[in-house]
Amino acid sequence: MLDCINETFGLHKVDLRTYSPLALAFIGDSVFATVVKAVIIERGNCPGNKLHYYSAHLVRAESQALMYDLWKECISEEEAVILQRGHNAKTVNKAKNATDADYRKATAVETLTGYLFLAGEEERLCELIRMGIEAVYAADAKEEQ
């Protein structure tokens, strides 16, 4: 998809190391939400309010913090550097319904998501998000018991 965007708009590749972690998180937020929404809609048609509920549950800071903890254990050194840069980024915004620790982890997840998207690593991105979604659903099931 990124190749199509670059070609259509006459953009050129930029060294991703020059982007700030918050710039990567900016695009990563949208990419993460888009992947989650695509997964939810492909699982079956349902009313819009349920689609929103399922999506919001997965993209909230608490769920992304759980994904952060999981990802830290299974990513490459290069990905770990990007994740850490996102975690250490100084944000101006605060999440309304999240702890500072969860918000920092969520920013890190979005940073790595943005990096992998811009690097053209869609398969790796989808693999990590799949693992994250499965972990959130497993944690939900454990809480319900």
CB 114 within 8 A of CB 25: yes
Is the Cα torsion angle 70, 75, 80, 86 positive or negative in sign?
negative
- Give the integer Cα–Cα distance in Å for 141 and 127: 21
CB 134 within 8 A of CB 93: no
Catalogue the active-site residues.
Answer: 29
Compute the CA torsion angle 85, 87, 70, 25 (nearest 10 deg): -80
32, 129 contact by CB (below 8 A):
yes
Other Cβ atoms closer than 10 A to 29 = 19
